[in-house]
Copies of this chain bind each other. A is one copy, B any other.
């Protein structure tokens, strides 16, 4: 009877719900968890405030959790797409380039909601800490798998370094309002991601 199996295609459940998650992810990038109010989220998502409580009984924390999950998915797709490149330094460059492009297009408003939330609320909320941890793990694993395939030694450690440096690069980019740091990082990291490095 064509009813969505609950838990299977969550994103098909409700357009309002999805809009709220996407809006939250977006606002989280620019303002962080504490800087983003429910009023702004519902206003930007054109959602009534009463729906908040219906779709996200866990409140703002649940909403942020799902927004992080959503954003982690999006970035993972981008990352995996880039990693299809035969050359890993090129892949890294493409990934960093995409992030740089987003930063520039948004006047350096769109940072990384995962890293920001990890630093803001990671120590307070177990729920958000778990969500950010999972996001990082998935990204690191994606890179690590590619490095392993290429026979790069210490694949997981290096993948961790790559993700950390990119996150730090986004941070620097926001502070400097320039993507120069990101480009520098991409170049410096090249030797780390090749097997002869």
A: residues with CB less than 8 A from B are 30-35, 107-109, 111-112, 114-116, 118-124, 129, 132-133, 136, 154, 156-158, 160-161, 163-172, 174-177, 181, 184-185, 187-189, 191-192, 197
Contacts and interface: CB of A to CB of B under 8 A. Distances in A.
Contacts of A33: 34-35
Given A116-B116, A168-B171, 17 more contacts: A32-B119, A115-B171, A118-B174, A119-B170, A129-B177, A132-B175, A136-B172, A136-B175, A157-B184, A157-B187, A160-B172, A164-B166, A164-B167, A164-B169, A168-B169, A188-B192, A192-B192
Top 4 nearest A-B pairs by Cβ distance?
A: A164-B168, A168-B168, A34-B34, A167-B168
Contacts of A108: 122-123
Contacts of A181: 160, 164
A29 to B, nearest CB: 9
Contact of A119 (B119, B123, B177, B185): B119
A116 B120 CA distance: 7
A120 B184 contact: no
B122 A175 contact: yes
A162 B16 CA distance: 42
29 contacts: A30-B123, A32-B34, A33-B35, A35-B120, A111-B123, A112-B119, A115-B171, A116-B120, A118-B172, A118-B174, A119-B170, A119-B174, A120-B120, A122-B177, A129-B174, A129-B177, A132-B175, A156-B184, A160-B172, A161-B165, A164-B164, A164-B165, A164-B168, A164-B169, A164-B172, A164-B181, A165-B165, A168-B169, A192-B192
